[in-house]
Amino acid sequence: MSATATETRVAVIGLGYVGSVEAAVLAASGRTVIGVDLREAVVEAMAAGRAPLAEPHLEERLTKARSLGTLTATLDLAHAITSTEAALVCVGTPRGDDGELDTRALLAAMTSIAQAVPRGGTYTIIVRSTVPPGLYGKARAAIDDVVAEGARIGLALNPEFLREGSAVRDREDPQLVVYAADAPHAEAAIRAIYAEHASRLVSCDPASAEVLKLVNNAWHALKVSFANEVARISRPLGVDPFELMQLVCRDTKLNTSAAYLRPGMPFGGACLVKDMASLATYAEHHDVSVPVMQHVLASNDAHLAHLLSAVMTHRTESGEGPARVAIVGIGFKPGAPDVRDSAPVAMAIALLDRGVAVSVADANVLDARVPPLGIDALRVALGDPRAIACESVEEAVRGADVIVVGHPAEADRRALVSLAPSLKGRVLDVSGELSRALSEAERRSLAPVDVLRAHA
C-alpha cells in the first residue's frame, strides 16, 4: 500500500451495515478513520472496538483498528469533516410509502457535510448508499447551494456490493469497484481509498453508477425467482430441482456466463421462442404458477414495440415519419442465416403493416443455400412486395429514411462503417454492432452518425 493511501483521512457517515464494515476495514488497513452516527450506543461501540452488529470478522477488524489507533467515532459530524479529506456516506435509503427509495436522510447528510467544509477548503463526498436514478443531480445541486465561498467539493458515486454474512470479505476482496467522480481530487480520493484494488477500479458516468446496484439486485432476484419456478415445474414431474439446477449451472459457457446478457434485438430463432412457449404452456395446463416464465415472451414483444417506436418517431427533413426503412442483418442472431422467428423479420413485417416500405440486406442469408435458409426463405418470411431483399448494403440503405442495424454479417457491418458519413442521424444501432471491434480510425468515421433512441 502506498504512503498516500495510508495517510488518507476518511470520515464514514452512517455506521449501519455498510458503514461499520467500511470504517473497520479501512481503519484496520492503517488509514485514519472517523465514524459518525446519530446513535450514541453505536458510536460508543465502534469507539471501543466492539461490533455494533453481528457480522463475521467485523469485530476482528475493529480490534485491529483499535490496536493501531486508527479508528475513532463521534456524534459530531462537523468535527469529522474538518478532520478528514473525504467522506464515505453510508446513510440508509429505505423504501418509501410510494415504493421509491427515500433519500431525504442521505441528501440531508450531504448538505451537512458541504456546510462543514470551510472557505477555500477541498473535500470529497463519496456516496456508498443505494440510490435511485437522478440522485447525482439532486445531490450536486444541494451541495452547490450551501458550499462556502472558494470551497471545492467533489462528488463521487461508489455503489456497494456487500452481502450480509460475508460483507468484510466482500469489501476486502471485491470483484469490481465502480465509481463516478466529477472532479480530479474526487478521483484521487477514490484511488487512495481503493489503493489495494487499483486493478479492479472501473470508472463510469453518474447515471450508470446510480442504477448499477439496482440492476444487479434485480438480476439476483430474477435468478432466485427463476430457480423457484423451475422447482415448481419440475417436482410434479419427479425431477429433483436441485440436481436439475446444478446441471444448468455446470455450463459456464452459456448458462452462467455473460452469454445472452448483451442488450439488442429481441430473441428469436427456431429454439428460444418455441421452447419458452412450450414450458410456459405446460405450466399453465397443469395449474403451476410461473409468472416469470409466462411473461418472458410478453417482455420480448414489448422490446420489439419499443424499437418500433424508435423508428416510427424519427422525422425526416420534411418533418414526416419514415417512408422507407432499411434493415441490415435479418437473421435471428449475429452470424446466423436462419430467419425463422427472427426479430428483425418481425420488425420488417410490423413496419410493412404500418405502411412503411422495407429494404433488407444480409450477406449471411444471401450466401445460404440450404432450405429453410437463404434468400428465398427471406422473401417468403417477408411476404410483401414492398419488402425488397437487396444484394448489398449500399442498395438497401439507398433512399432509406432510417437504417436499423440488426444482426449484420461482418462484411455488412464494415460496409455500414464505410457509409457512416452519409448516414448521419438515420441509424438505429440496436445491439451496438457498428462500434464493436472498431479501430480508432473507424470510430472517428462513425462520429457523424447519431444513434436513434426510443422514446417511452
What pLDDT digit, counting tens, does each position of 173-220 carry?
999 999 999 999 999 999 999 999 999 999 999 999 999 999 999 999
**Bridge-based pairing state of the strands 357-361 and 177-181:** unpaired
**Bridge-based pairing state of the strands 152-157 and 177-181:** antiparallel
Short-list 382, 168, 425, 445, CA closest to 434: 445
CATH 3.40.50.720 fits 300-445, yes or no: yes
Residues with Cβ within 8 Å of 214's Cβ and at least 6 positions away in sequence, in order, are: 130, 132
- Give the model confidence (pLDDT) of 261-311 as tens digits: 888 889 988 789 999 999 999 999 999 999 999 999 999 999 999 999 989
Distance separating alpha carbons of residues 281 and 271, to the nearest angstrom: 15
CATH 3.40.50.720 fits 3-204, yes or no: yes
Greater pLDDT, 57 or 447 = 57
Q: Which long-range contacts (CB under 8 A, 24 or more apart) does 173-178 make?
A: 174/200, 175/200, 176/200, 176/202, 177/201, 177/202, 178/202, 178/203, 178/204, 178/208, 178/209, 178/212
- Give the model confidence (pLDDT) of 246-263 as tens digits: 999 999 999 999 999 888
Over 346-373, what HEC string results?
A: HHHHHHHHCCCEEEEECHHHHHCCCCCC
32: three-class secondary structure by DSSP: strand
- Give the model confidence (pLDDT) of 322-355 as tens digits: 999 999 998 888 877 777 788 999 999 999 999 9
The continuous run of DSSP H or E covering 151 comes out as: none
Q: Give the residue-averaged pLDDT of 118-146.
A: 96
Q: Residue 6: its pLDDT value, please?
A: 58
pTM of the model: 0.86
Short-list 29, 20, 84, CA closest to 47: 20
Query: For residue 376, is pLDDT > 80?
Result: no
Q: Where are the beta strands (DSSP E) in 14-114?
A: 32-36, 71-74, 86-89
Contact 132, 163 (CB under 8 A): no
Q: Residue 3: its pLDDT value, please?
A: 42
Q: Residue 247: its pLDDT value, please?
A: 96
Query: For residue 24, is pLDDT > 90?
Result: yes
Distance separating alpha carbons of residues 379 and 372, to the nearest angstrom: 11
Q: Give the residue-averaged pLDDT of 399-408.
A: 92
Q: Residue 456: its pLDDT value, please?
A: 39
Query: For residue 454, is pLDDT > 50?
Result: no
Strands of the 86-89 sheet, one edge to the other: 71-74, 32-36, 9-13, 86-89, 122-127, 152-157, 177-181, 201-203
**Residue 382: pLDDT band with limits 50, 70, 90:** confident
Q: Residue 2: its pLDDT value, please?
A: 43
Average pLDDT across the chain, whole number:
90
Burial of 196 from C-beta contacts in 10 A (0-12 / 13-18 / 19+): middle
Residues known to be catalytic: 271
* Angle between helix 206-234 and 135-146 (nearest 10): 150
Short-list 362, 360, 349, 328, CA closest to 431: 328
Residues with Cβ within 8 Å of 415's Cβ and at least 6 positions away in sequence, in order, are: 392, 393, 394
The continuous run of DSSP H or E covering 158 comes out as: none
Percent above pLDDT 70 for the chain: 90
Contact 186, 156 (CB under 8 A): yes
Half-sphere exposure of 258 (CA within 13 A, CB side): 2
Q: Which of 108-122, 274-288, 331-345, 367-381 has the highest mean pLDDT?
A: 108-122
In this structure, how many other beta carbons lie within 10 angstroms of the beta carbon of residue 439? 9
- What is the DSSP-derived secondary structure letter of residue 95? B
End-to-end CA distance of the chain: 48
Q: Residue 371: its pLDDT value, please?
A: 54
Q: Which amino acid, one-letter code, is at 163?
A: R
Q: Give the residue-averaged pLDDT of 316-327.
A: 91
Q: Residue 452: its pLDDT value, please?
A: 56
- Give the model confidence (pLDDT) of 51-95 as tens digits: 999 999 999 999 999 999 999 999 999 999 999 999 999 999 999
Distance separating alpha carbons of residues 297 and 305, to the nearest angstrom: 12
Beta bridge partners of 359: 326, 388
Greater pLDDT, 317 or 144 = 144
- Sequence ranges of the domains in the chain: 3-204, 300-445
Q: Do domains 3-204 and 300-445 have the same CATH topology?
A: yes
Q: Residue 369: its pLDDT value, please?
A: 53
